[in-house]
Amino acid sequence: MKRVVILGSTGSIGRQALEVCRWRGYRVVGLAAGKNLETLSQQIAEWKPLLVAADESLHPELRAHFPGLKLATPEEVAALEAEVAVAAIPGLAGLAPTRVAAQTGKRIALANKEAMVAAGPLLWQEVEAARAEILPVDSEHSVLFQALLGERREDVAELILTASGGPFLRAPEDLSQVTPEMALNHPRWRMGPKVTVDSATLFNKGLEVLEAKELFRFPLEKIKVLVHPQAYVHGLVRFVDGNLKAALGPTDMRLFIQYALTYPERAETPLKDLPLPGVLEFLEPDLNRFPALKVAYEAGKRGGVAQVAVSAADEVAVEAFLAGRIPFTRIPEILARVLEATPSLPLTWENLFAVDAWAREEAKRWA
């Protein structure tokens, strides 16, 4: 029986990963969560994990409800003996346990794009040293991974990530009046609040561009974005002879989570007979309306710690927007200001954490 640890078990990806484990009959040996006591308690009761990580404020209640429960850090959960770790703790908080999962030779089903954006080359060193694996969970990267299987790298002309366009693709004209409630109403996907706001600014697509650069190790200029409102084609690979390979599927993350867990096997799911949409549109992204995507590309061009800085600044800016402290249009402005001030340093573990802390403080000046 395959053993799995879920890092970020009470979030959207974590809950869906557990559903896939239920489908497949996998043993979930470790859970790492934050402050969602009710959901975590239900998960502990069902899965009876060997170790659980949770916010310290929950420890008294968890000990009272589950007297034999072993509490640990997310890194200790990540180190448990298991074949797969689902890395779904959002933001840079997910980097340390993802690194431990790599060091302990697991397959990492990677849903935490910020870890790859900030530390891609460093994470690959850990993966290769421990003979671990990284398989993408993001729908776009999962289909690129699938489209690249069996192909020669030198035959690839470009990787194309599709974006649904989010809730503000065409309206309202004035994005400065957008509220958090409007931004959280995504037309296609049901996700956590941070990634949903990132989808509305298109910075999520920018992070995915940077993630694709680090994950597949292709140059930035070979990675493109097209807006595809139906969100059915998740990505395309164009080859040097003009042929394109695309992967299509419903907007249901369980499809991609299961592929990362079962690869190279394709196990049956209840999703296999969903209908195809009748119309598929592809549009160029409007970088004037969504400048955050342009900032992400600029960070990718600069390299070094620039990707760390914009990723950290985005966490601060989105939090400020959701709290009602800044307008929607201030988010890309903050990213651009932080990127402009980012020091030119090589990417090392030490510089990564120093720049992350600096960028958060710098972003707070404008948020």
> Which tens digit of pLDDT belongs to each residue from 16-60?
999 999 999 999 999 999 999 999 999 999 999 999 999 999 999
Cα(87)–Cα(99) distance, integer angstroms: 10
Q: Which amino acid is at 118?
A: A
Residue range 332-358: mean pLDDT, rounded: 97
Please name the residue that has the structure tokens 């959207």: 12
Report the sign of the C-alpha dihedral through residues 186, 189, 192, 194, in that order: negative
Report the sign of the C-alpha dihedral through residues 264, 267, 270, 274, in that order: positive
Please name the residue that has the structure tokens 């890092």: 7
Q: Which of 149, 337, 172 is nearest to 247 (CA)?
A: 149
For 299, residues 6+ apart whose C-beta sits below 8 A from its C-beta are: 206, 210, 306, 307, 309, 310, 339
For 238, other C-beta atoms within 10 Å of its C-beta total 18
Select the more confidently predicted residue: 170 or 336: 336
Q: Does the pLDDT of residue 187 top 80, yes or no?
A: no
Cα(32)–Cα(90) distance, integer angstroms: 12
Q: Which of 108-112, 187-191, 197-201, 214-218 has the lowest mean pLDDT?
A: 187-191
pLDDT per position as a tens digit, 55-114? 999 999 999 999 999 999 999 999 999 999 999 998 889 999 999 999 999 999 999 988
Cα(144)–Cα(161) distance, integer angstroms: 8
Orientation of helix 330-341 relative to helix 291-302, angle to 10°: 20
Q: Which of 73-77, 154-158, 266-270, 343-347 has the lowest mean pLDDT?
A: 266-270
Q: Which amino acid is at 71?
A: L
Select the more confidently predicted residue: 190 or 249: 249
Cα(40)–Cα(53) distance, integer angstroms: 10
The answer to whether the pTM exceeds 0.85 is yes
How would residue 284 be classed by pLDDT, with cut points 50, 70 and 90?
Answer: very high
Output phi, psi for 82, to 5 deg: -165, 160
Residue 250's pLDDT is what?
87
For 303, residues 6+ apart whose C-beta sits below 8 A from its C-beta are: 347
Omega within 30 of 0 (cis) for the link into 229 = no
How would residue 344 be classed by pLDDT, with cut points 50, 70 and 90?
Answer: very high
